[in-house]
């Protein structure tokens, strides 16, 4: 059972435009969400996170929106740059007794930003 | 600060052998988590250690084990390797007051 879903395997956008990556989750216990960027044969790089007590978090060109009622979050990248081309993973964790550090990942979305 | 480091970066083993992978967290981080990435299953949580204690474990067979040392460095071990264990093994560390995890470059394990 996939608890975190990224339904778009790929997304292509023009340089300078907005990239919107989407993620849905099913586990209502998830209360912390993160986005990572990953290049092949490298570890994921942390981009931005959001707690379930917020509905928006911004960091530079990256903004994450959380809609708890819809169990949906999205990552907006504005403006998109060719260097943003990578696989983006959505991840979630639950504040469960033993540990907050078990991340459940989506399958990823390959973003291609065309010059 | 130096990032998370993992050794070795690449490893080739034969079915039935065992392997040990090493991870050094970011200085000051006491939580270390391990993940497996395969094309079919994606990124999956293996286990998490804090102050030398395993706090959480994913759904992997007992052949996968780990430990953490007093300096927070961690090792994971896979015994009786199977072809399906071929994967990128990633280590991540976190500080006590943050739920953000920072990943190392990974160890690419190939089982032949």
Q: What is the pLDDT of residues A58-104, one digit of tens each?
A: 999 999 999 999 999 999 999 999 999 999 999 999 987 666 789 99
Which pLDDT does position B26 carry in this prediction?
96
Interface list for B 39-68 with A (CB within 8 A): 42-45, 48, 50, 55-56, 58
Query: A2 to chain B: nearest residue by CA?
Result: B41
Which pLDDT does position B2 carry in this prediction?
81
Q: What is the residue-level pLDDT of chain B in tens, covering all 112 positions?
A: 689 999 999 999 999 999 999 999 999 999 999 999 998 889 999 999 999 999 999 999 999 999 999 999 999 999 999 999 999 999 999 998 789 999 999 999 999 9
Closest CA to A46 of B95, B14, B110, B7: B95
What is the C-alpha separation between A81 and A76, in angstroms, rounded?
Answer: 12
What is the C-alpha separation between B11 and B29, in angstroms, rounded?
Answer: 26
Summarised one tens digit per residue, pLDDT across range B84-93 is 999 999 999 9
Instruction: Give me the sheet containing B19-24, strands edge to edge.
Output: B5-7, B19-24, B74-78, B64-68
């Amino acid at each position: 059972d996939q608890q975190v879903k990224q339904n778009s395997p790929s997304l292509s956008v023009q340089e300078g435009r907005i990239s919107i990556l989407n993620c849905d989750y099913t586990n209502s216990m998830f209360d912390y969400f993160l986005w990572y960027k990953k290049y092949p044969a490298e570890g994921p790089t942390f981009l931005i996170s959001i707690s379930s007590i917020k509905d928006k978090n911004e960091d530079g060109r990256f903004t994450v929106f959380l809609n708890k009622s819809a169990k949906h979050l999205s990552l907006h990248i504005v403006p998109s740059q060719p260097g943003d081309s990578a696989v983006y993973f959505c991840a979630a964790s639950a504040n469960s007794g033993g540990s907050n550090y078990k991340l459940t990942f989506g399958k990823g979305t390959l973003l291609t930003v065309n010059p | 600060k130096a990032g998370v480091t993992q050794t070795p970066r690449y490893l080739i083993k034969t079915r039935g052998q065992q392997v040990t992978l090493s991870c050094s967290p970011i200085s000051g981080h006491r939580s270390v988590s391990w993940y497996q990435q395969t094309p079919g299953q994606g990124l999956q949580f293996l286990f998490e250690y804090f102050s030398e204690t395993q706090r959480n474990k994913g759904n992997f067979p007992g052949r996968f084990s780990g430990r953490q040392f007093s300096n927070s460095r961690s090792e994971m071990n896979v015994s009786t390797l199977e072809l399906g264990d071929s994967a990128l093994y990633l280590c991540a560390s976190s500080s006590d007051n943050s739920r953000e995890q920072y990943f190392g470059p990974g160890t690419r394990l190939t089982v032949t």
